Amino acid sequence: MTTDTTPPDAEAATADALVRFRGVQKTYDGESLVVKGLDLDVGRGEFLTLLGPSGSGKTTCLMMLAGFETPTGGDILLDGTSITTLPPHKRDIGMVFQNYALFPHMSVAENLAFPLKVRGMVPGEIATKVTDALDMVELEGFGARKPSQLSGGQQQRVAVARALVFEPKLVLMDEPLGALDKQLREQMQLEIKHLHERLGITVVYVTHDQSEALTLSDRIAVFNDGVIQQVDPPARLYEEPQNSFVASFIGESNRLAGTIQSTDEDTVTISLDGGGRVTATPVSATGVGERTLLSIRPERVVLLADDAEASSSHANRLSGEVLELIYLGDHVRVRLRVAGHEDFIVKLANANAMRGLARGDTVQIGWSAADTHALDYVEYDTGGARDAA
């Protein structure tokens, strides 16, 4: 599968790319490719996240960039120079791991000083940089403590500071927040985001958490089965998924299967497998007779009060049976049976919207053609994507 990984608004970033992957491949057994012909640019000062399920190839790409794995084919360039055969310690790259990887017998200050000492800096310069690094991650006064005397969040701050203290060209982060609880994880996401904005460093970040990727990134590269499916800024990735995998993996999406019956200048009309017709924006399914999966975000679907509202406001309208109502504080999830699918979700903004609704009710729902994407016809299981054919 060949994927164009340069969206229009990424042209400026790729013109001044700090990192370039060119035709990079990786196999461990000599037969199956874990990474398949990767072409990807990382702009100078960009925060790029490699996102995907386990086994999709994202961590292998990061390890090849760090120098801990060697590509089977292709080339990796850093600031215009090939680093494919360069050992890790000569790449001028900072690294942050999920398990912190701090030296337990050293103090915080000694941990931060270590990468400076191996680079031959004089003691006075080391002391200044260590102090500045502690200030940067708001750990002033913690220099004498051992890692075991710190909380998980504080240890991760030290790990980030150690990756930045020698002012590398590039910082790599491999699931750095995976060991933290939800509240601390969200706090650290914002701290890393603000640190990147303040310092202007180039970051390549790996995660399987799509919410984390949306929060942190300038752009996200979505991986599946060793191939980049789409590279885009978070908003475009969410609003304009280019295939069924991206629509399913990023955020929540209602999916309805059908066949394209007719085409217009900007839309296609689909006959749904479970009955009914829907007008959609063609993305990766465009031809008459072609099978398609429609993607509709739950928050774009509304409950219609009457037929007049349906006919005047929404290109698409179907009936559904209420199967479940789930109160979640800031919104209510309504699960419906629609066109034969029993997992069609509507998100209502507040609890008042659920008044008068009950299980078994038949309701009218509507949404626009612009919010309906006609994508490739693919089925999913827990291991990823596979062609429905």
Residues 227 and 347 in one domain: no
* Among 239, 254, 283, residue at a domain's last position: 239
Q: What is the mean pLDDT of residues 287-300?
A: 94
Residues 150 and 228 in one domain: yes
Residues 48 and 126 in one domain: yes
Confidence of residue 152 (pLDDT cuts 50, 70, 90): confident
Give the per-residue pLDDT at 327: 86
Residues 301 and 329 in one domain: yes
* Percent of residues, the chain, with pLDDT higher than 90: 66
Helices (H), the chain: 11-15, 58-66, 108-117, 123-136, 152-164, 182-199, 210-216, 234-239, 244-249, 307-313
DSSP structure class, residue 54 = T
Residues 211 and 253 in one domain: no
Residues 235 and 256 in one domain: no
Give the per-residue pLDDT at 381: 42
Give the per-residue pLDDT at 77: 97
In terms of residue numbers, what domain contains 272? 244-387
Residues 129 and 263 in one domain: no
Helix 152-164 vs helix 182-199: crossing angle, to nearest 10: 20
Residues 225 and 272 in one domain: no
Residues 232 and 332 in one domain: no
Q: What is the mean pLDDT of residues 313-340?
A: 90
Is residue 357's pLDDT more than 80?
Answer: yes
Contact 37, 74 (CB under 8 A): yes
Give the per-residue pLDDT at 304: 86
Candidates 296, 260, 47, 258; CA nearest to 173 is: 47
b/e string for 86-104 if b means 16 or more Cβ within 10 A? eeeeebebbbbbbebebee
Residues 289 and 205 in one domain: no
Candidates 288, 302, 304, 292; CA nearest to 332 is: 302
Mean pLDDT computed over every residue of the chain? 88
Least confident stretch, 88-97, 179-188, 270-279: 179-188
Give the per-residue pLDDT at 384: 41
Residues 67 and 188 in one domain: yes
Q: How many helices (H) and strands (E) does the chain have?
A: 10, 22
3-state secondary structure of 94: strand
Q: What is the pLDDT of residues 90-148, one digit of tens each?
A: 898 999 987 778 899 999 999 999 999 988 899 999 999 999 999 988 899 899 999 99
Confidence of residue 315 (pLDDT cuts 50, 70, 90): confident
Least confident stretch, 48-52, 70-74, 362-366, 383-387: 383-387
Give the per-residue pLDDT at 388: 39
Give the per-residue pLDDT at 373: 96
Q: Model-level pTM? A: 0.87
Is 153 a member of any domain?
Answer: yes
Is residue 370's pLDDT more than 90?
Answer: yes
- φ, ψ at 160 (rounded to 5°): -65, -45
Confidence of residue 379 (pLDDT cuts 50, 70, 90): low
Number of domains in the chain: 2
Distance CA 75, CA 52 (A): 22
Is 2 a member of any domain?
Answer: no
* Among 212, 239, 266, residue at a domain's last position: 239
Confidence of residue 312 (pLDDT cuts 50, 70, 90): low
Distance CA 108, CA 74 (A): 39
Confidence of residue 6 (pLDDT cuts 50, 70, 90): very low
Is residue 382's pLDDT more than 60?
Answer: no
User: Which pairs from 340-343 meet CB under 8 Å and 24+ separation?
Assistant: 340/272, 340/273, 340/274, 340/275, 341/254, 341/255, 341/256, 341/274, 343/254
Give the per-residue pLDDT at 307: 56
The CATH number given to whatever domain includes residue 131 is 3.40.50.300
* Among 195, 215, 239, residue at a domain's last position: 239
Residues 169 and 282 in one domain: no
**Of 3 and 244, the one with more pLDDT:** 244
* Percent of residues, the chain, with pLDDT higher than 70: 90
Give the per-residue pLDDT at 14: 59
Give the per-residue pLDDT at 374: 95
Is residue 187's pLDDT more than 90?
Answer: no
